[in-house]
Amino acid sequence: MIENSIVAQLNSPLYHSFERNVMTARTVLSTAALLTVVTAAALGQSDSTKRQYINLPRPVANLPFSDGVLAGNTLYLSGKIGLDPQTGKVPTDINDELQYLFDGIKNVLKEAHMTMDDLVYVQVFCADLSLYGKFNTAYRAYFAKDFPARAFIGSGPLLFGGHFEIQGIAVK
């Protein structure tokens, strides 16, 4: 009895109409995907699935992350802390820490043939919100034109005793 009901449903005009609509939707989606790839190739855009992993020399070895991942024309920057490149420690002077922090970000961007002005979004974690003003003073000096969108978030303690950690997204 149930078998006959299922067979009847599969033979119904409604089911065949549904099946044709599903096949049409699949064809449209496949065609759209193909057109996207062909258009990107025609415009000289890189395949966004191609990735370049950026790993700069660092004083703390064997950490399980990349400094940045370039996917197409978008660079995703891992969280960066202002470590002294010689000692691998956070300096006691906040201004030195900020310089190491921003220079580290610039170095990752440089590897992707980008600059600070290619940043479109940054997220700043700060262990001590009373340093907001000092951070902004240093931050302004690293941009030639418009600033990226930004979140400045109060955090708990950061790795290695850092006061700031920045992650971001840049687009060429």
Domain-wise residue ranges, the chain = 2-42, 51-171
Angle at 128 between CA 59 and CA 167, to 5 degrees: 50
- Residue 124 and residue 166 in contact, taking contact as beta carbons nearer than 8 Å: yes
Angle at 106 between CA 102 and CA 109, to 5 degrees: 140
Q: Quickly tell me which residue has 């920057």 as its tokens.
A: 77
- pLDDT at site 49: 75
Q: Collapsing DSSP states into helix, strand and coil, what is residue 109?
A: helix
pLDDT per residue rounded down to tens, the chain (172 residues)? 555 554 455 565 654 554 444 333 343 333 333 333 333 443 445 566 789 999 988 766 678 899 999 999 999 999 999 999 889 899 999 999 999 999 999 999 999 999 999 999 999 999 999 999 999 999 999 998 899 999 999 999 999 999 999 999 999 9
Angle at 109 between CA 120 and CA 61, to 5 degrees: 125
Quickly count: other Cβ atoms within 10 Å of residue 110's Cβ: 13
Give the containing element (helix H, strand E) for 37: helix 13-42
Backbone angles phi, psi at 57, to 5 degrees: -60, 140
- pLDDT at site 33: 39
Both tokens of 78, joined, read 């891992």
- The CATH code of the domain at 51-171 is 3.30.1330.40
State the pairing for strand pair 149-154/119-126.
Answer: parallel
